Amino acid sequence: MNLILLFEEDFTDGLRKVRLSGRRLRHIREVHCAKVGDTLCAGLEGGPIGSGKVTFLDEEVLEMDIALSRRPPEPLPLTLVLALPRPKVLRRVLFSVTALGVKRIVLVNSYRVEKSFWESPVLHRDNIRKQLILGLEQSRDTILPEVLLRERFRPFVEDELPELARETLRIVAHPHAAEECPRGSDRPVILAIGPEGGFISYEIEKLASAGFSAVSLGDRVLPVETAVPFLISRCC
Ligand code: SAM
């Protein structure tokens, strides 16, 4: 936890003092080994970042004086459209793309997504939020990404994607594509990444009709959780 993410309900005196318990208290005691007088990096969800000075600490509660003045880091100009991966992978991908600064993530169905993945508790709002918060704490950010769940591929691509993709560079990562993945786009990017079995031809064609170019990283076929950060850092 490189930043203690604070929520309005943590504050006891305007935006000047907080009282924390639970996970953040345990982490600050056990990992930061903080003492009264120490200063930690803190930030308000959706707002500025700054510091928290520990004024009281015991096993039950931590109190800090808070001073927030800086803006959080710039968001990454990229929308991720990701075929729903298996729950364990999804958890890690939500964490890592949040840490990278992605602010919109669309989890979409695809022919080769196992139906049972849509039933996973990882998709419950609170569990998604937990991973996003861990990603923000990791990267010293405060702005939660928006996560959209789209269980039907075709209506999503036909009805919603054109608006989401407006004025962006549109790419779909596909190991067998002839075109090489671009490097360092000077425009915002919308990037589609397939499921473990890859997108089927019909899906690549639908995405192409929404203006997406299929691009490859070369002969190495990467697992989804490796492909995601590689592709994002390559094209942004
Ligand atoms: N057997 C699948 C195939 O050949 O399409 C492999 C899919 S791969 C495990 C999962 C997703 O990661 C792909 O659909 C693609 O979006 C992305 N990916 C992995 N390796 C890639 C590569 N070399 N080039 C482009 N995309 C890649």
pLDDT at 13: 81
- Interval between CA 194 and ligand 1 midpoint (Å): 6
Local confidence band at 1 (pLDDT 50, 70, 90 cut-offs): confident
pLDDT over 90 (residue 177):
yes
Sheet holding 11-13, edge to edge: 4-6, 39-44, 49-57, 62-70, 17-20, 11-13
Please return the burial class of 184, using the count of CB atoms within 10 Å of its CB with bins 0-12, 13-18 and 19+.
exposed
- Interval between CA 62 and ligand 1 midpoint (Å): 46
- Interval between CA 222 and ligand 1 midpoint (Å): 6
If you average pLDDT over every residue of the chain, what do you get? 97
Local confidence band at 129 (pLDDT 50, 70, 90 cut-offs): very high
* Ligand 1 probe mutation, 110, 112, 174, most atoms within 8 A of CB: 174
The angle formed by the CA atoms of residues 132, 138 and 141, to the nearest 5 degrees, is: 70
> SS3 for 82?
strand
Structure tokens at 48: 């500025």
pLDDT digits (tens, 9 = 90+) for 30-85: 999 999 999 999 999 999 999 999 999 999 999 999 999 999 999 999 999 999 99
pLDDT at 119: 97
pLDDT digits (tens, 9 = 90+) for 211-234: 999 999 999 999 999 999 999 999
Ligand 1 binding pocket, CB closer than 6 Å: 173-175, 193-194, 196-199, 216-218, 220-224, 227
Q: How far is CA 164 from CA 50, 77, 109, 168, 190, in A?
A: 33, 12, 17, 9, 8
Portion of the chain with pLDDT greater than 90, in percent: 98
Helix ranges restricted to H, 57-199: 87-100, 125-139, 153-155, 161-164
Nearest CA to ligand 1 atom 3: 198
- Interval between CA 45 and ligand 1 midpoint (Å): 34
pLDDT at 15: 82
Query: Per-residue pLDDT averaged across 15-28, rounded?
Result: 95
Determine how many CB atoms are found less than 10 A away from the CB of residue 153: 21
- Interval between CA 126 and ligand 1 midpoint (Å): 29
Local confidence band at 130 (pLDDT 50, 70, 90 cut-offs): very high
Sheet holding 213-216, edge to edge: 146-150, 102-108, 76-83, 189-193, 169-173, 213-216, 179-180
pLDDT over 90 (residue 150):
yes
pLDDT digits (tens, 9 = 90+) for 81-117: 999 999 999 999 999 999 999 999 999 999 999 999 9
